[in-house]
Amino acid sequence: MRLLHTMLRVGDLQRSIDFYTRILGMKVLRQSENTEYKYTLAFVGYGDESENSVLELTYNWGVDKYDLGSAYGHIALEVDNAAAACDRIREAGGKVSREAGPVKGGTTVIAFVEDPDGYKVELIEKHS
């Protein structure tokens, strides 16, 4: 078994694609539309789905906002330098919600950013 994807419901598909591609550097891997059930899917990630886990962005036509609930945590991405990644994301128009620094009670350097729908994305600095 392997993890294939994580699905996020988004309120504006193009806005979300822009965030995950332009700001976080992912690529659109595939996109499909279901006219009968009125939704569009876009799969984004850093590599081919045959070898990498990806995000499925689901846009249900006519729904522009979701209650994220209290159970959702975050998506985690490894970065070379968390502070530099925050700077790049901020300069590109992204929202940094926690600046780079050690995790509470530890030494791993992390930061958090938010996507346009409010989903949290943790940046974890690669150990050298």
> Which residues carry out catalysis?
122
Tokens coding 4:
């294939």
d(CA 48, CA 63): 29
